[in-house]
Amino acid sequence: MAGTGVGSGSTINYPGEEEIVSFQKGLHVEQTVLCSWGSRKYRAIVKSIEGKGKGPDADVYEQSTFRPTPEANDILTDVFVSPSPPSSPGIEEMTTAVSTQTDNSDAPSQPNFSLNAGTQTDGYYVTHEFMCALQEQLQNLAKSNASLNAKMDAMSDLLGRSSTLTPASPSRSPFTPPAPSLPSRREQPSYGKLVNGNIQMRVENGSVPFVEIPKQTYERIFYVAKTATSFVRQLLPLVYSREELVASNFEGGEVLTGNGYVTKPALERPRMASLLGQVELEFPGSTFGKANMGKIREAINAHCRTEARKKLLM
């Protein structure tokens, strides 16, 4: 939807509206824009909501709601773009922090329109593509010279003709956002330092001054690994001993095993920093952001669990 970029203090503008500033709290953002349809003012509220209970890979969805300003006292059906209704379990919405100005002195005392003859609490879920088309239609209507009732009739017709419009249902999810693109690998491997045919990964303040990896071994791993998680798992045995991988994990702490909870230390931080630096060098952006680091962390922990299981089977 045009004008819904997430960013602290960003400004969005629509034809015939006041200037509205959005506010951000983490991954949650709500923007309110004041649209002018004829002589009346209406609010278009755009929220970003984060799916909870999905771990570090939780997606951020966009939810849009159109409704009149309180002064207009009109009946307007809400229209959402959302993977599930706002009240669904596991969805957390941010608090509103917006500033608007309205002027409805010329609004008629007896409004005469509605979208789909619903009440203010009715909800309909539509696809993102349809929402974009609706926004374009609204902008065209705002610029036209048609009467207010004609504009409202046009919007009702637009919603009525859409086959994607369905009553709100907690169990339905008509729209799934595309998966984010993964960090891509460089075309050629990068060597920080090459000594006697070995790649040296410098370790600051660690138990060893550097980690050496044979150049041919490193290149084989580089070209085989298609993702950052695959790359880091194949480098782990070259940076840490098997005993360290069995006894430790990424962050340390209590871990549930077949014999109950055991406390594991974290893998040595200086070497981990060197390893992650090499991963970032070959897969730019792979260690930035909560979601990306969550995947790296889980890949390392999964490798440690695999090594621990192998030891039990020996």
Residue 10 has pLDDT above 90, yes or no: no
Reply yes or no on domain 194-313 having CATH 1.10.10.2590: yes
What pLDDT, on the 0 to 100 scale, is given for residue 161?
55
Residue 129 has pLDDT above 80, yes or no: no
What pLDDT, on the 0 to 100 scale, is given for residue 248?
93
- What number is the average pLDDT over the span 183-210? 83
Task: Write the pLDDT tens digit of every residue in 214-259.
Answer: 999 999 999 999 899 999 999 999 999 999 999 999 998 888 777 7
Residue 165 has pLDDT above 70, yes or no: no
Most trustworthy range by pLDDT among 25-39, 44-58, 104-118, 193-207: 193-207
Instruction: Please report which confidence band the pLDDT of residue 299 belongs to, taking 50, 70 and 90 as the band edges.
Output: very high
Residue 271 has pLDDT above 80, yes or no: yes
Distances (CA, A) of 232 to 46, 139, 145, 220: 39, 49, 61, 13
What pLDDT, on the 0 to 100 scale, is given for residue 213?
93
Instruction: Please report which confidence band the pLDDT of residue 189 belongs to, taking 50, 70 and 90 as the band edges.
Output: confident
The better pLDDT of the pair 96, 203 is held by 203
- What number is the average pLDDT over the span 273-277? 92
| Total residue length of the chain | 314
What pLDDT, on the 0 to 100 scale, is given for residue 228?
92
Residue 310 has pLDDT above 50, yes or no: yes
Instruction: Please report which confidence band the pLDDT of residue 125 belongs to, taking 50, 70 and 90 as the band edges.
Output: very low
182: part of which helix (H) or strand (E)? none
- DSSP notation for 210-226: EEEEEHHHHHHHHHH--
Per-domain boundaries in the chain: 11-167, 194-313
What is the three-class DSSP state of 101? coil
- What number is the average pLDDT over the span 90-109? 33
Q: What is the pTM of this model?
A: 0.44
Tokens (6 digits) for 232: 């880091």
Q: What phi and psi values does residue 263 have, to the nearest 5 degrees?
A: -95, 125
Cβ atoms of residues 26 and 52 within 8 Å: no
Tokens (6 digits) for 118: 């619903």
114-153 burial, b for 16+ CB within 10 Å, e for fewer?
bbeeeeeebbbbbbbebbeebbebbeebbeeeeebeebbe
> What spatial distance separates the first Cα and last Cα of the chain, rounded to whole Å?
57
Residue 60 has pLDDT above 50, yes or no: no
